[in-house]
Amino acid sequence: MGGARTPMGEYGGRLKDFTEIELGAIAARAALERSRVAAEEIDHVIFGNVLQSSSNAIYGARHVGLKAGVPIDRPALTVNR
């Protein structure tokens, strides 16, 4: 499996209206596409972030996985460093 990272932008720039979950899902879909792996084949989601920025950020891996098409029955782990 490959990877992808979220874009970096300027404060108040073009990315200001995206949530961390939306950006994470974009990166997750890109990683799946680059690796030619179907979301249904994923058996575990691990999502890392720094400084959680919303009340539901502790469930970031779950939300990112679901938005990327990973089935709901797959476990998910969020790492905040």
- 15 in a structural domain: no
pLDDT of residue 35: 93
Inform me whether the pLDDT recorded for 1 exceeds 70: no
Domains: count for the chain: 1
- 10 in a structural domain: no
- 40 in a structural domain: yes
The two tokens of residue 46 are 């691990």
- The domain of 38 spans 20-80
Q: Please give the model's pTM, rounded to 2 decimal places.
A: 0.83
Question: To the nearest whole number, what is the mean pLDDT of the chain?
Answer: 90
- 67 in a structural domain: yes
Closest CA to 52 of 44, 68, 63, 39: 63
Q: What pLDDT band is residue 30 in, cutting at 50, 70 and 90?
A: very high
pLDDT of residue 50: 82
Q: Where are the alpha helices (DSSP H) in 36-71?
A: 60-67
- 7 in a structural domain: no
- 34 in a structural domain: yes
- 60 in a structural domain: yes
Inform me whether the pLDDT recorded for 3 exceeds 80: no
